[in-house]
Structure 1
Amino acid sequence: MDPTPGMATARIEAQTEGESRVLRATGRLDTEAAARLWPTAMKAAEGAPIVALDLAGLEAIDSAGAVMLLTAAPDAELRGAPDHAVALLERTRKALGTIPPPGPPAPWHPITAIGRATVNRGRDTVAGIAFIGEAVVTTLRVLTRPRLLRLADVLRHLDEVGTRAFPLTLLLGFLIGVILAYQSSIPLRRFGAEVFVPNLVGISLLRELGPLLAGVVLAGRTGSAFAAELGTMTVNEEVDALKIMGVDATAMLVLPRLVAATIAMPVLALLMNVAGLAGMTLIMGTLGYPWASVQSQLQQWLSLQDLAGGLFKAACFGLVIAGIGCRAGLSAGRGPRAVGDAATAAVVGGIVAIVVMDGVFAVLFFRLGI
């Protein structure tokens, strides 16, 4: 209500009538008065319950004042309230009963925050293990019932993961070969050992950089796409609809992507290696070393075991990246940022996972003498 000159300052006090307590409000109970009197009203509400609200001296009230009164005495009887106040209090009572107002933000406590983060991380870990178990069980089911795996979906994802990524992979591999050749020739030139640049670049590409960079390309290009696509289906409740209809969502949505990424990653890593060696050969030619010299060094120092080890790592990287992307999409929330968060989680999780796996493989291969 609009302010009117001559209206009294709002006051609120608790009075005792026998064994009952009455909360009396007078004056203009607007937003400013409610903010000033809120601690007093909450303190008055402590102890014995308030059975009545005496509003005979109330001159004006708005929604903030009504919320304060109903918070202090939600079940109290109204006494002497003007008609407009009664109507406002009833409307406010109904609104508070349907949608409760948000409470004050909880104070930040470091120990509580650490505990909450630990519990959330534990739940995510358990959910990830459950996803892996479900994928393994579905794979075993498909081995006994191959018709559950839709070949058309596998071929479609192979085209998305592999064929459409060829240009980017070739370009990136060629540039990496050029960079490695130039940068490694600078220190080796001091010792007259530029002829060993093909050895350095070839071993680095086949054993480490080829699979690793192909995995980065797959995580940024395909892992995010898997997460965004499945995240959109989750937000639109399409995945829930499949489960309600009795369709195995893992076999239909996840398994074809896992198979496609596992098959396509070694091919991408091989293309990365070939393009990198081509870029290195071009630079070696500009430095005065013919193709025959480069070929001799590569044949002398590279082996099929180096290539096989790199392709095996690439297949493992593809399986993990696709799994992380699918898991991020299927666990997306329901808000407007759910799909973006899922895609971000897929890219970050995929890159971190392949770097950690590459370190594990490096230690394992060293111990095994591979």
Structure 2
Amino acid sequence: MAVVEESGDAPVTARLDAIRQASSLTLRLSGAWVTASVAAQDAALSRLDPGDASEAVIDLSELEQFDTAGAWLVDRTKRQLEQLGLAVTLKGLSAARRPLLEKVEQRQACPEPPKQPAAFISVLTDLGTATFEAGRTAREVVNFLGLTVVVLLRNLAQPRRLRGTSLIYHLEKTGLDALPIVGLLAFLIGVVLAYQGADQLARFGAEIFTVNLVGVAVLREMGVLITAIIVAGRSGSAFTAQIGTMKVNQEVDAMTTIGLDPVEVLVLPRVLALVIALPLLTFYANVMGLLGGAVMATIVLDIDLLAFARQLRDAVELSTFWVGMIKAPIFAFVIALIGCYEGLKVSSNAESVGLRTTRAVVEAIFLVIVLDAIFSVFYSVIGV
């Protein structure tokens, strides 16, 4: 007979007696088979060797305490012995403890982790998932565009439906409040263009054409592009966060319940405000960019403001100004549309607000740059 007994200071311990008789093995469990005292018996049961026994009896009649840890050890031992070909029976299990053991016996084995596919397969899977998601998002954005246009036409037919107070409020937030950051960045862009252009053109003795470079670059591309990117990061994200927070607070659902159209109440004022504000901001950015170029030309090239203005008049045509300005309302519509769309797609948790806000900024800037590239190709084809 082999006896394994836990040593410790606890008044009641878990004890295990292994009794061998011919081809029979009896495991007598006694004491407290609970979480605090079964650690040693866990190791002993794992090392148990039934030898040439063909049947086993697990005697539980002398148990004093029994919990889930003890029941799990009993069930594990029973399964191990059965896998070795022994006929196992339980003896002395009281009616009060039987439901606990039966519950443990119903446990499911932890599933094996799925096999990791090859790296190439993973790349193809991720690419396919991203492509499908991009296509689904593009379809939903087009649907949202159609819905917005329908609501816009309905409000144009019935001007009284347009929320003037909301329009003025968002016009102030997206236009007037953006003047400092737009003006500062446009001024610095003009400074950088003038400085870099003068540094390169000085090699050919053509410093005066720095004015041409600054004028064309700011009016055709940089003014409207920098302004649109700033507005996308500032106002587009604000639209998503505002509408997304309303979604989390179920305010959008409340609007729908009382018969208000969320697109008409939330989306349309923001879209119209940005379509009005962005061209004005672009004009302001053009002025500040040219001013930055003039200041740098005065400092680096000794070209005074009057000479800068004369050269700018000869270098820049009115069409150059309109080439940039035409882009502004289109960029504004796209930025506002994406911001509002992502806001309405927010689910009912705060994490979704952050994720959708980030997506709105990234998607708006991406679309602005894509549209700017399309405009550049179009203008080149028509010779503007």
Q: TM-score, normalised by structure 1?
A: 0.76
The whole-number CA distance in structure 1 between the counterparts of 2:11 and 2:155 is: 75
Aligned 8 A contact 2:187 2:285 in 1: yes
Q: 2:304 maps to what in 1?
A: 290
**Aligned counterpart in structure 2 of residue 265 of structure 1, from 272, 275, 278:** 278
Q: 2:182 maps to what in 1?
A: 169
Aligned 8 A contact 1:63 1:88 in 2: no
CA shift, 1:134, in A, is 1.3
Give the paired residue count: 323
The whole-number CA distance in structure 1 between the counterparts of 2:186 and 2:194 is: 12
Which digits, 9 at most, give the CA deviation of each residue in 1:236-262, with x for residues without a partner?
Answer: 111122112221100110011110111
Aligned-CA RMSD value: 3.7
The whole-number CA distance in structure 2 between the counterparts of 1:139 and 1:256 is: 10
**Aligned counterpart in structure 2 of residue 5 of structure 1, from 13, 29, 46:** 13
Distance 1:163 1:65, change over 3 A: farther
CA shift, 1:329, in A, is 1.0
- 1:166-245 correspondence runs (5 A): 166-245=179-258
CA shift, 1:84, in A, is 5.0
The whole-number CA distance in structure 2 between the counterparts of 1:63 and 1:137 is: 65
The whole-number CA distance in structure 1 between the counterparts of 2:373 and 2:282 is: 17
- 1:1-370 correspondence runs (5 A): 5-8=13-16, 60-62=66-68, 80=93, 82-83=95-96, 86=99, 108-109=116-117, 110=122, 112-286=125-299, 287-370=301-384
**Corresponding letter in the other structure for 2:223:** G
The whole-number CA distance in structure 2 between the counterparts of 1:253 and 1:222 is: 14
Aligned 8 A contact 2:71 2:101 in 1: no
Which digits, 9 at most, give the CA deviation of each residue in 1:125-172, with x for residues without a partner?
Answer: 332222112112211221222222201111000000000011111111
Which digits, 9 at most, give the CA deviation of each residue in 1:347-367, with x for residues without a partner?
Answer: 111111111111000001111
Distance 1:276 1:113, change over 3 A: closer
Distance 1:88 1:171, change over 3 A: farther
Aligned 8 A contact 1:139 1:255 in 2: yes
Distance 1:309 1:112, change over 3 A: closer
The whole-number CA distance in structure 2 between the counterparts of 1:114 and 1:85 is: 53
Q: TM-score, normalised by structure 2?
A: 0.73
- Residue 337 of structure 1: SS of its match in structure 2? helix
The whole-number CA distance in structure 2 between the counterparts of 1:55 and 1:265 is: 84
Q: Gaps spanning 5+ residues in structure 1: where?
A: 10-25, 37-53, 70-78
Aligned 8 A contact 1:60 1:85 in 2: no
Aligned 8 A contact 2:247 2:344 in 1: yes
The whole-number CA distance in structure 2 between the counterparts of 1:105 and 1:121 is: 30
- Residue 83 of structure 1: SS of its match in structure 2? coil
